[in-house]
Amino acid sequence: MARTMAQGEDGGSTRRNARGLKKTVALVGMMGAGKTAVGKALAARLGVPFLDSDAEIVKAADRSIAEIFAEHGEAFFRSRETEVIGRLLENERAILSTGGGAFLSQTNRDMIAEKGVAVWLKADLDLLWSRVRHKNTRPLLRTDNPYETLKALVAEREPFYAQAGIVVTAAPKLSIEAMAGKVVEALSAHGGILEEDQ
């Protein structure tokens, strides 16, 4: 696991020896924002577990998310999602990647605020589309015009994401490691989240 940040990767930030968390960091944002990839890099950098609420739902149901949507509907999925997020927040402090719709729930927002801190990985529509357009694993985009559907979802969801305690903006040419570095810097600036090495 990497202990330090390569200089220049995230715009010249100083090297940091942050290890561990005082509270769980929940990554929120749209599909394609990089929550899973950045979350894994962030967890490795900080030496903490990485948890993924979608993956936990899939494991518990023994079904893909698309299959859960098809068989039981979105309302059923959202109910299971809240249960899983609540359980994961009770576990050890970790980096928690949440599904794109999770932060729309007031219950989920309240749980995350009480037990941890939400970080919105903010990405613009063009970047999101470039990342999701060739994937068929997104049930909400199985429409006649997936681009317009994504555009509508972004407009609907961004006011909820904006309620996150921390916002970190992605850029097309920013590597996963560099984005993780930006999140570490944001967490450090926020205070009370990272365990600092002495």
Q: Which residues are annotated as a binding site for Mg(2+)?
A: 36
> What residues does 196 pair with on adjacent strands?
18
**Taking a C-beta distance cutoff of 8 angstroms, is the pair 65, 52 a contact?**
no
Spatial CA neighbour of 102 closest among 135, 80, 122, 123: 80
Spatial CA neighbour of 42 closest among 110, 95, 121: 95
Q: Which residues are annotated as a binding site for ATP?
A: 32-37, 138
Return the exposure string of 100-136: e unless at least 16 CB atoms fall within 10 Å of the residue's CB, then b: bbbbbbeebbebbeebbbbbbbbbeeebbbebbeeee
Q: Which residues are annotated as a binding site?
A: 32-37, 54, 78, 100, 138, 157
Rounded Cα gap, residues 157 and 166, in angstroms: 16
CA 63 to the chain's CA centroid? 21
Q: Count CB-CB contacts under 10 A for residue 158.
A: 13
